[in-house]
Structure 1
C-alpha cells in the first residue's frame, strides 16, 4: 500500500484544501488533504494509512451539518463524490442507499411507489444519507418514531481496523462474535452496566422518548442484546467517530397524498402550546411553532397571510402554529379533520377561526413561509455577521415556559434579532441569532449565551442540548453536563473499544477540552456584497454543473473569504496563489447559469459574483470583440454549427478516441485549438420541419436557444415530442441569430448582454402577437435570464 496515496483521488493543492474546509457549521479547520475514495477497498486503505501516519480522519457527505462534526485539520474524506447509488427494494418498501445519495433524490426514486424515507430534515434536498445516518436526522414530520435510528433495516460498515461488516447477512452476528470477541465482551459489559444502574436506565428511556442527539445513542444498549445489533445502531448518530458507513437499507413510509394545512395565530405562548397534546392525540402529522420575532421576519414575504400585520400590531406576545394532517385518501383526511373539529377546536384559543386549506399551492406557500424564517433572519444580518442556529429539546408540558425563558435569555445577552421556531409536537425548538465572530469580545458574548443556554436547558428544564443536529464540537464539552459522569464513562469505554487510536473524528461528541466550542470559530470576512449573505449551508451545490469538475457555488464563495482571511493574516503569497488557481477553478469553469440561486436560502446567485469578477478583468479590446460578436451573432452561430457538424462527421469516421487524440495533439501545437470531447458526440439531427405549424395554427411559439440551434438534438427532440403530444409548434423565421444575452453576461460583458436581450424581447413581442401566444424555450438558464430581463423592464 502506498501510504501517500491510499486512494486514487487525493486533492492537496491549497485552493482545494481551503475550498473543502468549510461546512454549514460555525467552525473552520483546514484539512491536510481531501481524499475521495471510490470503493470500500480504498476506504480500508485510508484507515490503514491513517493509523500508520497518525493522521485523523473525518468523513463528510453533503457538508450540511451544523455542529462542527464535518470539519478537520487531518484528512477530510469526501464521500459525496462517488457514493451515490439508490436502489428501491421490494417495490419501495425499503431502499438501499450509499452515503453520498442526496435525501431528496432518494425520495424522488421512491415517489413512483408512493413511499418516502422517514427522516425529513429541512436540508433534505442537499443533505446526504451519510450525514443523515451519522447525525440520526429527523425533521418536521418524522418525530422520533421515524428517524434514521428507527427506520434502519440493515447497515454495511467498516471499522477503524479495516474490517467490513454487513448486518443484512444472516450469519454476520455469529461471525462478529467469533472475530471480535474483545469488542463483543466490551459492548455486552457496557450494556450490563446500564441495566445495573436503574437511574441511568430510566434516564435513557426518558430521553429517547423525545428528540436527543447528544452523545452516543445509548438507547441501542437498551433496545438490543446482540453485540452486532448494538453496534450497528450505535453508528446512527455517532457522527463518523466509530466507523465508515458504506451502505444502508432503510425502511420507507407511505407518502400520504392527501393533506390539510392551517396556520393559526395565538395571543401568547401558553395559548398556543396548550393545544399541542390534543393535536398529537389526534395524530397531527406536523405541528410547527413560530414566536413573534419569527413571524415578524416573514411579514413582508410573498404569500404572507393578510391578517399577520394586524395581529403583530395588536399582540406583543403573538405566537403561531402551523399544523398539517395527512391521509391516504380524502375520506381518511375528512375523518381526521372531524376529529380536530370535535376534540381540539373546543379547547383552541386562536385569535381567528382556524381555516384549513387542501390547495397544494397554498400549502406549499405556508411551508415556504415556515422554512423561510431562518433565511429571512440570515438575509437581514449585517455584513460579516454569522447566523447561529441552535437546536434544543424541552419536555412538552413545559414548552411554553421554556419559550419565555429563551426570550428572556435573548434580552439578557442583547440579541435583539433572535427568533424561535421549531417542531412543537416534539418539544424541539430552533433559535437563530446573528453576530460577528471576528474579535475576542464577540467570542466572549457567544460563550456567555451558550453557558446560560446549557444551564437553562439541562438544569432548569431537563431538556436536550441537541435535538437533531448532532453533538459535534459545539456541544461536546457539555455531554457530561447533560448525561452525567457514569454515562460519559460508558461512552468513553465504547469509543476506546471501537476506535482505540482515537483517529476517527477526534473531539467530536467526546472531548477533554472544556472550551472546545469556542475554538476555531469561523468568522465571515466581508468580500463582495453580492455574496456576503452566504451562510455556507450548501443548499446550492446539487444543482451546480461544475461541482464535480472544479468548485461548487459555496466553494467559490468560501475561497473568496479564505483569500480575505489570508490577507488579514499577512499571508499574501498564499492569497496570491489562491487568486491564480481561482482564475480557472472559480471563474472560467463557472456556468453562471444562476441555478444555484433557486435553492439558496438567501437567494444568492453566485454566477453574479463570477460575472462581476470577469467584468473587472475584461480589457477594452475584449469588450470590442464581444460587441462585434453580438452584432454578427447569426454568422458566428452558423460557423460554430458547421464546425460541430464537421467534427461529428470526422468522429464518426475516425472514432471518438482518435478524434479526441488528434485534437489534443493539435491543441498542444496550436494554442487555443479546441479539443473534441465525448459530450459533443451524437447525430447531426435537424428539425423535421414538416412537424411545425404556421403561426395562425400554432398552440405555442417555439424559440430554440442558440445552444440548441447549434447542437440540434434538443430542438429536434422537443419538436418530435410536441407533435406526439398534439401540441402545434411554430418557429419564427428570424429565430436564427437571436440570443438571450446570457452568454455575454456570463463572460462579464453586460452591455453586449443587454443589447442581445433587448433585441430578443422586442422580437418575442412580435412573435407572440403582442403577448397573445405563449412562447416556449428549451434551456432553463436562458429562460430565467430572459424572464429577469422582462421583470426589469419599465412598466
Structure 2
C-alpha cells in the first residue's frame, strides 16, 4: 500500500495514464528504478509515458502535491542522476519520432531515440549527430542532452551544447516552450517573463564580474559537466538561448526536454587509425598535444595498466605484453573526405611526432578490419576490469579533465593517488585531446572500512583536480549524486551561488531531481550505495550498465537482462539474509517467476552487447532447471526416450488443429483457443492464425550419386511443421533444400533413425539440462556415423538447433543454411535476383554466429530489394514460448508490420520464429532456402 500523498497521486495518475503503465509493486519499482551508477533509490511510483501531453499532466499533478520527480531515458548514467525515491517517469518506445530538416543540416529528435539510431537515420546523407558517447548504442537522446554527453571524437566543439539548434521543453509547472517557434516564445514571455528577466539579470551580474566571467570561459575550454552549463550565460545574450543551453547538462533538474533539434556534423567516409606506443606517459601526452594542433578526430591515451588489462585477450595487437612498465599508448584516428586528403593528414601527423621517442615506428591503417582491432583495445578496457573483479564488488569509472598542457603531470599524480589509497589494479585512459581522463577501479561497498577508503580517495582526487590543476571533476559523465557535494569546491562560492539561483528560477519548489548537481550534504556521495550481493557465477560480473537492453525482446513487456539480474540479486539477498517478511518474499518471487523467468526468451543476445559477455538467458535456463520437480523431469525423460511417439503425438495435434481451423475459421478458432489458453492459466498453448500445418511425411527422396556428399539433418521442428493455411505456396522446406543440393551436384546422406533424433533444444530451453544433453549425445553418434566421422559436411536447416550442436559437438563440420551456402553452394550456382521486395529476419542464433551481415548480403544477391527491420533483434517466439506466452512475441514484433510495406514474403532460418514473424509481420515467413532455390540454377 502506498502512503500519503502517493496514494492520492496514484489515483490521479490513473486518470491520465493506463494503469498497466503505472508501477508500484516491489519488483518493478526496484527493476525500473535501477540505473548504471553505484547508487540505489527505489521509487514509490514508476510511470511509463508515451507523449508530451502525458508529461504535462503528470507534472501538474506532481507540482500540486509538492513531491519530487526524476526523468529517466536509458538509465546508462554513471553518477546516480537517474534514480529516485519518489516518482520516476520513464519514456516508452513511443518517444521515437524524428524529422530530417534543411537538407539534413538539422535533425529533430524525440528524447527516446537511441543515439546510434539517430546516426543510422543520418548516414545516407553523410551526416551524424555531434555527441558520440561510448554508450551510444544504448543511451538515448534525452540523456545525451541532459548530461551533455560527449565521447571520443566530439570533444568540446561538437557536443550537444555546441550543436544545439532548438529544443522543446516542459517546465516544472507543466508549461511548454518550443524555443524554435516564435509564437511559443511569445506566449512563454507572457506567462514566464520573470524567469526570462531573471536570466537576463544573471547575465548582467556575471558580465559585470569580470573574474567570474573569465573563470567560466576558462573552465569550458576543456570538457566540463560539473554543475550547470554556466557558459550559456556568457556565450548568449538572448534569454531564450541562455535558457535552452542551461538545459544542456542539467540532468533533469530544471525541466523536461521533449524534443531536440541538432545541427548535424559531417560523417567523413575515409578513416585511418594508429596505435602509437611510447616509452612513457610524458611522450604520449606530448604526442596528444601535437595531434590536437593537427586536428585529428580522436586521440585516446592509455596507461600501461590499461594495456596490461587487455594484452592477453584474443585479437589484440602483437607486442603489448612486452611493453615496459612505464610505457603508454595513444590511439589516434584521422578522418577525411577523400583518400588523398586522408594520406595528407597521416603524413602531417607522422612528421609532427617524429622527434618524440617511440617504442616501435608508428603506422596508420585505413583497413576497417585492422583499425577495428586497434579500437577493440580501447573498447576492452572498461570490461577488462569488470571481468576480473571480485564478486560482490562494483566497478567505478570516474571522469575528470585537466588543462591539456598539464595532462602528463596530472596522470602521474593520479597514479600516485591510486598507490597511496591501495587501488593497485586501477587503470587510466581517456580522451587526451580534451585533457579528459577516465580511471577505473573496483570497490567494495559492503564493508564500512572499504567505504571509508573510498571516501579518503575521493577527497584526495577532488582536491588534486580542483585545487592543484583547476580541472573538471566531471568531464562528460555528468555531476549526478557522486560529485554534487564537490561542485562548490571546483567552482567557488560565487559560481555556486549562481547555480543555486538558476535552480531557483526554473524549479522554485525544488521538485525536479533533488540532490543531483547541487547537494549540501557532505556525505551525499557515500549514501544510498547500491548492494551487489553474490548471486550466481553467471551473473555476478554484471555491472548493471544496461548496454544489453536494446536487443531484449521483453524490454517493453516485463524486464530486461539488467533488470532480471537486479531483481534476482535482491531475491537471493533476501532469501540468504531472511530480512523480509515471508509473504513479501513470496510475492516478490512470484512476480519474478513471470516478469523475470517466464517472459525471458533466453536468446543470449544480451551477451553480445554486454561489456563482460554475460548471457542472462543462460542463467534463466539454470533458474528454470532449479524449479523442475521430480515428476516434470520424469515426463521430460519419457518424452526424450520415446521421441518417435512424442513427435507422432505432435503430428496428430497439428492435424486436429488444422481441421478445426478449416471448420471454425480464423475468428472463431482464435476466440476459442484464446479462452482455453487464458482459463487454463497458460497451460494450454495459444493457437494463432499462422500456426503451421503438419508436414506431409514420406520417404526422403534420393539424390543422384556424386563425389560431393552432404549429410542433411532437418531439425525436428522442420520435419513436422509445414506451411501455414494462408500461405499460397504449399511447398515444403525439405523439397527446396533438396532442390538446391541437387543443383549444386550433391548426393544427400540422411542420419539413421532420423525421426528419433533431436539436438535437445526443446529440453534445454525449459531447464531440462540432463535430458537435453542425452538427446544431443544420441544425435552426435548418428551424425558421426552418417558423415563418416567428419568426412562430409553436415547441414541443418534451423539455426538455433545448429547453434546448440556447434556449441557442444566438436570435430564435425556443422553448418546452418547461410554458412553452408557460402562455403559449399555459391561457387556451384548462378544467382539471379527475383523481382521481389522481401523481408529478412536474422535469428538470435545467426547473430551469435556472426552471420547477420552475411545473411543480408546473400539475400540481396537473391532478391531485388531486401528489408531488414530496424531494432528487431529477437522475435520473442523462443521455441514454443510463443505459444505459452504470446505476449512476448507480440511485444518483440510490435513494430514489424509497419516496416514491411511492399514486402510479399519474409525469410529466416527457424520455423518457430517464422510463425510469430508471419503473424505479426502480416506476410508469410519461410526458410531462406526457399529464396535461394528460386534465385539459383546450376553453373554450366
Matched, 1:570 2:610: no
Please report how far the alpha carbon of residue 492 of structure 1 lies from its aligned counterpart in structure 2 after TM superposition. 1.4
Counterpart in 2 of 1:233?
245
Measured in 2, the distance between the counterparts of 1:208 and 1:220 equals: 10
Measured in 2, the distance between the counterparts of 1:437 and 1:21 equals: 19
Counterpart in 2 of 1:281?
293
CA, structure 1 residues 56+727, in 2 after alignment: closer, same or farther (shift >3 Å)?
farther
Measured in 2, the distance between the counterparts of 1:229 and 1:692 equals: 76
Measured in 1, the distance between the counterparts of 2:798 and 2:263 equals: 38
Task: Return 89-98 or 476-485, whichever deviates more.
Answer: 89-98
Counterpart in 1 of 2:603?
593
Counterpart in 2 of 1:167?
179
CA, structure 1 residues 349+189, in 2 after alignment: closer, same or farther (shift >3 Å)?
same
Matched, 1:433 2:441: yes
Counterpart in 1 of 2:502?
494
CA contact (8 A) 1:701 1:729 kept: no
Counterpart in 2 of 1:146?
158
CA contact (8 A) 1:436 1:523 kept: no
Please report how far the alpha carbon of residue 647 of structure 1 lies from its aligned counterpart in structure 2 after TM superposition. 5.2
Please report how far the alpha carbon of residue 711 of structure 1 lies from its aligned counterpart in structure 2 after TM superposition. 6.9
Measured in 1, the distance between the counterparts of 2:479 and 2:61 equals: 27
CA contact (8 A) 1:284 1:324 kept: yes
CA, structure 1 residues 651+296, in 2 after alignment: closer, same or farther (shift >3 Å)?
same
CA, structure 1 residues 409+584, in 2 after alignment: closer, same or farther (shift >3 Å)?
same
Task: Return 166-175 or 347-356, whichever deviates more.
Answer: 166-175
Return the match for 1:450 from 438, 458, 470.
458
- Deviation digits for residues 140-198 of structure 1 (CA, Å, limit 9, x no counterpart): 11111111222222222211111112233243333322232111111111111121111
Measured in 2, the distance between the counterparts of 1:166 and 1:695 equals: 73
Counterpart in 2 of 1:629?
639
Q: Point out which structure has higher relative CO (alpha carbons under 8 A, 6+ apart).
A: 1
Measured in 2, the distance between the counterparts of 1:197 and 1:691 equals: 90
Counterpart in 1 of 2:589?
579
**What is the 5 A alignment of 1:99-178?**
99-178=111-190
Unaligned 5+ residue runs, structure 2? 1-8, 814-940
Counterpart in 2 of 1:360?
368
Using the size of structure 2 for normalisation, the TM-score is 0.78
Measured in 1, the distance between the counterparts of 2:99 and 2:596 equals: 34
Matched, 1:749 2:768: yes
- Deviation digits for residues 678-729 of structure 1 (CA, Å, limit 9, x no counterpart): 6x53786989x999997969999886655566375899799999999x9969
Task: Give 3-state SS (helix, strand or coil) of 2:156's partner.
Answer: coil
Measured in 2, the distance between the counterparts of 1:173 and 1:223 equals: 20
Task: Give 3-state SS (helix, strand or coil) of 1:310's partner.
Answer: coil
Return the match for 1:335 from 323, 331, 344.
344
Task: Return 445-454 or 98-107, whichever deviates more.
Answer: 98-107
- Deviation digits for residues 644-692 of structure 1 (CA, Å, limit 9, x no counterpart): 67657866886766544322333455555535466x53786989x9999
Measured in 1, the distance between the counterparts of 2:745 and 2:137 equals: 35
Counterpart in 2 of 1:788?
807
Task: Give 3-state SS (helix, strand or coil) of 2:46's partner.
Answer: strand
Matched, 1:52 2:30: no
CA, structure 1 residues 212+114, in 2 after alignment: closer, same or farther (shift >3 Å)?
same
Task: Give 3-state SS (helix, strand or coil) of 1:121's partner.
Answer: coil
CA, structure 1 residues 673+153, in 2 after alignment: closer, same or farther (shift >3 Å)?
same
Please report how far the alpha carbon of residue 92 of structure 1 lies from its aligned counterpart in structure 2 after TM superposition. 4.1
Measured in 1, the distance between the counterparts of 2:430 and 2:615 equals: 28
Task: Give 3-state SS (helix, strand or coil) of 1:389's partner.
Answer: strand
CA contact (8 A) 2:711 2:750 kept: no
CA, structure 1 residues 681+352, in 2 after alignment: closer, same or farther (shift >3 Å)?
same
Task: Give 3-state SS (helix, strand or coil) of 1:165's partner.
Answer: strand
Measured in 2, the distance between the counterparts of 1:655 and 1:118 equals: 54
Counterpart in 2 of 1:180?
192
Task: Give 3-state SS (helix, strand or coil) of 2:70's partner.
Answer: strand
Task: Give 3-state SS (helix, strand or coil) of 1:347's partner.
Answer: coil
Measured in 2, the distance between the counterparts of 1:701 and 1:99 equals: 52
Query: How many aligned residue pairs are there?
Result: 787
CA contact (8 A) 1:224 1:230 kept: yes
- Deviation digits for residues 464-501 of structure 1 (CA, Å, limit 9, x no counterpart): 00111000001100111111112121211111111111
Counterpart in 2 of 1:603?
613
Using the size of structure 1 for normalisation, the TM-score is 0.91
Measured in 1, the distance between the counterparts of 2:647 and 2:615 equals: 28
Task: Give 3-state SS (helix, strand or coil) of 2:321's partner.
Answer: helix
Measured in 2, the distance between the counterparts of 1:736 and 1:542 equals: 38
Matched, 1:557 2:565: yes
Task: Give 3-state SS (helix, strand or coil) of 1:239's partner.
Answer: coil
Task: Give 3-state SS (helix, strand or coil) of 2:586's partner.
Answer: helix
Counterpart in 1 of 2:236?
224
Task: Give 3-state SS (helix, strand or coil) of 2:274's partner.
Answer: strand
Measured in 1, the distance between the counterparts of 2:594 and 2:237 equals: 55
**What is the 5 A alignment of 1:194-273?**
194-273=206-285
CA contact (8 A) 2:722 2:732 kept: no
CA contact (8 A) 1:287 1:423 kept: yes
Matched, 1:662 2:672: yes
Measured in 2, the distance between the counterparts of 1:416 and 1:97 equals: 43
CA contact (8 A) 1:473 1:516 kept: yes
CA contact (8 A) 2:713 2:794 kept: no
CA, structure 1 residues 110+454, in 2 after alignment: closer, same or farther (shift >3 Å)?
same
Task: Give 3-state SS (helix, strand or coil) of 1:171's partner.
Answer: helix
Counterpart in 1 of 2:820?
none
Unaligned 5+ residue runs, structure 1? none
Please report how far the alpha carbon of residue 111 of structure 1 lies from its aligned counterpart in structure 2 after TM superposition. 2.9
Task: Give 3-state SS (helix, strand or coil) of 2:490's partner.
Answer: helix
Counterpart in 1 of 2:31?
19
Measured in 2, the distance between the counterparts of 1:289 and 1:581 equals: 46
CA contact (8 A) 1:135 1:213 kept: yes
CA, structure 1 residues 459+528, in 2 after alignment: closer, same or farther (shift >3 Å)?
same
CA, structure 1 residues 677+208, in 2 after alignment: closer, same or farther (shift >3 Å)?
farther
Measured in 2, the distance between the counterparts of 1:565 and 1:495 equals: 39
Task: Give 3-state SS (helix, strand or coil) of 2:473's partner.
Answer: coil
- Deviation digits for residues 12-49 of structure 1 (CA, Å, limit 9, x no counterpart): 11111121222110100111011001222211121122
**What is the 5 A alignment of 1:757-768?**
757-761=776-780
